[in-house]
Amino acid sequence: MSRRSGILEFAVLGLLRESPMHGYELRKRLNTSLGVFRAFSYGTLYPCLKTLVANGWLIEEPGSTPEDTLAASLAGRRAKIVYRLTAEGKEHFEDLLSQTGPDAYEDEHFAARFAFFGQTSRDVRMRVLEGRRSRLEERLEKMRASLARTRERLDDYTLELQRHGMESVEREVRWLNELIESERAGRDLKGSTGGSAQQDTTSGSTGGLPRPGDVPGTDTPGETAT
């Protein structure tokens, strides 16, 4: 399994833990609410869903009335299917939430983990935040060393680009410091109760969070929503 597909599975399980959804709603929430995946096709989402169903973590249920299903069949359209998390799927997602290994510190994976911090225990949140900060501090040190070695050979625009990259990492480190301080003080983020994935428009929504690991999607939507 690729790292990106693993992140997608994690995000899908997290959203379905809140409530059952059909494919169109899932894609919308992944693209807009979480801010983890900018864009991806149904051709990416549905194989992921089929894998989760095959693993016993999701079940498929009719998402419309029998009349609607018959009408869709006669019209040559696929009937709506709602995906629901099973007890095994919930247990698997909770196991994923508890993991604090190096993958949790990487850009896109960290963004997905952060989106579900409202469902994550405080000690796990602390380990992920501290691991992410350590990873970025190492990255910042390498960037500074590289800039010191190559400064004299760089033109002004390339130099400015490198400075911009360093400033971005420095800002995230400061942000992480503030979050870690709040966690140590036992304070929750305002509006985070109940999980970021439940909120779309408030200041506590994942849509308003910094997105250190945003990676623009390369897939092109081109299939009919279910």
pLDDT at 116: 92
Q: What is the pTM of this model?
A: 0.72
Which of 14-18, 28-32, 58-62, 182-186 is the least confident region?
28-32
The answer to the question of residue 207 being in a domain is: no
pLDDT at 195: 40
- Structural domain including 172 reads 115-190
pLDDT at 187: 75
Whole-number Å distance between alpha carbons of 104 and 116: 12
Number of domains in the chain: 1
The CA distances from residue 63 to 59, 78, 105, 198, 212, in Å, are 12, 11, 37, 21, 36
Question: Any idea of the CA torsion for 202, 117, 3, 163, to the nearest 10 degrees?
Answer: 70
The answer to the question of residue 89 being in a domain is: no
Whole-number Å distance between alpha carbons of 28 and 24: 6
Q: What is the mean pLDDT of residues 200-221?
A: 37
The CA distances from residue 112 to 30, 124, 167, in Å, are 10, 14, 23
The answer to the question of residue 142 being in a domain is: yes
The answer to the question of residue 149 being in a domain is: yes
Under the banding of pLDDT at 50, 70 and 90, the label for residue 125 is very high
**Top-confidence residue, 30 or 38:** 30
129 touches 137 (CB < 8 A): no
The answer to the question of residue 54 being in a domain is: no
pLDDT at 42: 72
The answer to the question of residue 224 being in a domain is: no
Residue 225 has pLDDT above 50, yes or no: no
